[in-house]
Amino acid sequence: MFIMVTSASLIITISSIMMMISSILSKKTFIDREKSSPFECGFDPKSSPRLPFSLQFFLIALIFLIFDVEIALLIPLISILKMSKIFFFWNISFFFIIILILGLYHEWNQGALEWAI
């Protein structure tokens, strides 16, 4: 038990020292306006270097990620079928799919799935 406590404290100490060293070394000592601005043939930029970001595209991507993760959660249900009783399997599967459909309906009802603004 003593060896585990000693090794755990040694690991925590070494990782803390490494985090402090990396934090100190990663700090920039000065911020230069010329170095932080985009380079455009030596002249000041005519327009903003950033393109306008579509919030609608971001929402669609976020919804896709949420439903993609939920579909990945459905995959283990296939292997659970062999180990569980069929009644419990269908109840759990039905409940999970109903939650997915209600979430999709809510997003559709809120207008998050429409491309036209």
| Segments in the chain below pLDDT 70 | 27-51, 115-117
Which residues make beta-bridge pairs with 43?
40
Phi, psi (rounded to 5 degrees) for 40:
-140, 75
Q: Residue 11: what pLDDT?
A: 93
Q: Residue 41: what pLDDT?
A: 64
Question: What is the token pair recorded at 16?
Answer: 């803390």
CA distances from 88 to 58, 83, 91, 93, 95 (A): 37, 11, 5, 8, 11
Pairwise CA distance, residues 14 & 114, whole Å = 52
Question: Domains of the chain (ranges plus CATH)?
Answer: 2-110 (1.20.58)
Q: Which residues contact 44 (CB under 8 A, 6 or more apart)?
A: 37
